[in-house]
Amino acid sequence: MSLQNDLILRAARGEQIERYPVWLMRQAGRILPEYRAVRSKLSGFKELVETPERAAEVTIQPVDLLDVDAAIIFSDILVVPEAMGLSYEMVEKKGPWFEKTIHDESGLKWAESDFDVEDRLSYVLEAIKLTNRELNGRVPLIGFAGAPWTIFCYMVEGKGSKTFSEARKMLYANPSLAHELLKRITKVTIQYLKAQIRAGAHLVQVFDSWAGILGTEQYAEFGLRYLKEISEAIQEVPITLFSKGAITSLPALSKLDCQTIGLDWNMHMDEARKLVGEGRTLQGNLDPCVLYGSHELVANETKRMLDSFTSSRHIVNLGHGVYPDIDPDKVRTFIKTVKEYEITS
């Protein structure tokens, strides 16, 4: 099926674009009353993730309601550790929680990597197929997975944390176990991303949400090493790597075989461009809190960011997922401002 809007794919590949493409992390979610209506009829977040028809429905909502240039499949990065043997619960207002966690070699029995990924994660693949059928080529569909380091954090720590000291402890106390676990996650993640692409994902993004808690050298050893494997394995579609907070690793990250690098809001686009160079597309990075301001402020701050671009290799997004209590009309102002902005270069 041919795409009517392939702007994000061209931007990712560094091809000519007539304007910047724009989408939002967490665009399918609690900011939309229409999402909350679907969600309220289900038992919880996980039922939504695991029901392809409903997942497809909320994936498409922001395309209809916000006019974004891409859909991203509604799912969670934690479906991977669950498929490997560690199931999670999503605790309201607290976040994910794993009953079992991995602390020594005996825990590897909960980290399978030799199973049929397409079978165990069929509900995600089914949601991708349904979404594309419904979208009918209007915009590309983004698939995604968590980076091995971030998934490792949850499999060892068992929940969110400011420091992930349990996870980081293993890097010093038992680095060979850490590498074994990271290898297994990497293997499953590559298979999972390839399955998403076969199911119809036009672009994939890898989220390394906890990249920023490691020093530069440790992130090279336990983070980038596995992102390298993944990005080299994925040649079918463009891949975006988002290593949140890993400012000092940006130069190394930009040497990986990827098309796009995601940025959080802590760094100015022109600073990032200097570190990354012209060979990669940058994605981001408006501070999501800007959307708490007036419409005028949203438009002005968005324009200020766009003015700071020194190349046309950009995909516009926030620097983080949109916060759930943001007024969708502020999101519309953000999107409209990007769409009306003329690229001069």
Kindly identify the residues of this chain, within the stretch 269-328, that bind a second copy according to CB under 8 A. Answer: 271, 287-290, 292-293, 297, 301, 320, 323
- 154 catalytic? Reply is yes
CB-wise, 217 or 232, nearer to a second copy? 217
Of 110, 267, 332, 339, the residue at the interface with a second copy (CB under 8 A) is 267
Of the candidates 39, 54, 168, 273, the residue annotated as catalytic is 39
- 30 catalytic? Reply is yes
> Should residue 92 be labelled a site residue for a second copy when binding is judged by CB under 8 A?
no
- Output the six-digit token pair for 314: 């950009």
Contact between 74 and 28 under an 8 Å Cβ cutoff? The reply is: yes
Q: What is the 3-state secondary structure (H, E, C) of 42-67?
A: CCCHHHHHHCHHHHHHHHHHHHHHCC
CB of 95 to a second copy, least distance (A): 9
Cα–Cα distance, 103 to 117 (Å, whole number):
24
DSSP label at residue 249: G
CB of 31 to a second copy, least distance (A): 13
DSSP label at residue 110: G
> Should residue 94 be labelled a site residue for a second copy when binding is judged by CB under 8 A?
no
Kindly identify the residues of this chain, within the stretch 160-179, that bind a second copy according to CB under 8 A. Answer: 160, 162-163, 165, 168-169, 171-173
What are the CB-based long-range contacts (under 8 Å, 24+) for 273-281?
273/309, 273/310, 273/311, 275/250, 275/251, 276/250, 276/251, 278/311, 278/313, 279/14, 279/254, 280/254, 280/313, 281/11, 281/12, 281/13, 281/14, 281/313, 281/314, 281/315
CA trace torsion 97, 222, 219, 257 (10° rounding):
-110
> Should residue 254 be labelled a site residue for a second copy when binding is judged by CB under 8 A?
no
CB-wise, 130 or 214, nearer to a second copy? 214
Of 137, 215, 277, 279, the residue at the interface with a second copy (CB under 8 A) is 215
> Should residue 265 be labelled a site residue for a second copy when binding is judged by CB under 8 A?
yes
Contact between 249 and 224 under an 8 Å Cβ cutoff? The reply is: yes
CB of 319 to a second copy, least distance (A): 8
Would you name the residues annotated as active-site residues? 26, 30, 39, 76, 154
Contacts with a second copy, residue ranges (CB under 8 A): 160, 162-163, 165, 168-169, 171-173, 212-218, 245, 247-248, 265-268, 271, 287-290, 292-293, 297, 301, 320, 323
